[in-house]
Amino acid sequence: MNDWVARYVQGVINRLPEKERFEVEQELTSNIYDMLSDNPSEDEIKEVLLEMGPPAVLAEEYRQEPKYLISPRVYHDYIQVLKYLVPTVGVVVAIIGGIIGGVEGSQKSASAISFVQGVLQNGIGTGLSLGISAAFQALLWTTIGFVIAERYHAFDANNNKKEWRLEDLPQLHHGKKIAISDAIVEMALTLFFSGMLLLEAFDLLPIVFITEKNGVASIPLFSPTFIWKLVPVLIIGILMSVLVNAIKLKDRRWTKRVLQWTLFESLISASLWIILLLQPDLFSYEFTDFLKDQTWAKMDVLHYIASGETHFILVIVCSIIGIVAIAECGNALYQYFRKEAQMTKI
């Protein structure tokens, strides 16, 4: 029976700013129990909650700074859309713009130093400008869309189809929330490094060396056969990362679904990368031939690549990938069972 009260209070405070939630939760819970008898029945609790009205309307009464551009009925949904859409669009567009700007900057460079400067300056500048512009565009058009939808009563049409019921209250969630920033940063890093590898694979961002005679050598890193194996792995990795983090953004908790997809993504990605890195045709002939003509210290990684003795290095790299994947799976299991243990205690 107490579950109905807790769910109703949760439905109200979810629509309020973080700083206001604790005080409102205490006050609202106390007010509800003051309206109930000492040993209320479930029917009595339901009757009181129905008389209090929809949580969205009550939340606006508690709000310290009322918002009127978007009505109280849909303001919570509007904010939730902005939380997910604006940073996601901004980060994704910024990364794509940074990669495009970096490529354009590299094509205008005549030396190794100007190459690096061109990539960094043009890439960062383009990425930031496009990302900020995209974020503001997402904010603007989302706001316009909500205003127009309310103006033409699109939300009223949906609300009239079904009266508010107690069964519509949100389920109680326990455990630590998954931060929105964590999921967005993870997607951003995946897109960034995958984009850089794709540019490198197709020789749009070649490796630049300053030779012993102060010359500049621009050399493809990967062999053509390896590239055709690399591209599908990158695409699969991007798709899985976007899917898993989209689920995290939707659930915001370590649910069973989040756990299953996180384990699946970690194990599959690690397996694909380990298989990929153990391929014999990893580096291009141009790259290995160039390294052979240079002088390297015996403990230098490039010395081992030049001599073809890369097995030990790749085993170490693959071991690190495996350890990271196991750590990610362990953390996911810990977060899930921690949340389950907290629910059991309640």
| DSSP state letters, 86-141 | HHHHHHHHHHHHHHHHHHHHHHT-SSHHHHHHHHHHHHHHHHHHHHHHHHHHHHHH
Tell whether 166 and 292 lie within a shared domain: no
**Pick from 54, 74, 218: nearest CA to 142:** 74
74 and 58 in a single domain? The answer is: no
Grade residue 220 by pLDDT with cuts at 50, 70 and 90: confident
Which tokens in the block code for residue 241? 């990362």
In a domain? residue 207? no
Q: Are residues 36 and 76 in the same domain?
A: no
Report the first-to-last Cα separation within the chain, whole angstroms: 13
CA–CA dist 201, 184 (Å, integer) = 25
Q: How far apart are CA 138 and CA 153, in angstroms?
A: 22
Residue 225 maps to a domain: yes
Q: Please say if the pLDDT value at position 309 is more than 80.
A: no
Average confidence (pLDDT) over 162-185 = 66
Checking if the pLDDT of 120 tops 80, the result is no
The mean pLDDT of 152-157, rounded to a whole number, is 58
Read off the pTM: 0.56
**Percent of the chain scoring above 90 in pLDDT:** 8
- How high does pLDDT run on average in the chain? 75
How many residues make up the chain in this entry?
346
Q: Indicate the helix (H) or strand (E) that contains 219.
A: strand 216-219
Give the highest mean pLDDT range of 146-150, 330-334, 336-340. 330-334
101 vs 39: which has the higher pLDDT = 39
Q: Quote the domain boundaries for residue 50.
A: 2-62
- 271 pLDDT exceeds 90? yes
The H or E element that residue 235 is part of is helix 224-251
pLDDT of the residue at 308: 64
Is 40 contained in some domain? yes
- For residue 305, being part of any structural domain is answered with yes
Q: What is the DSSP letter of 171?
A: P
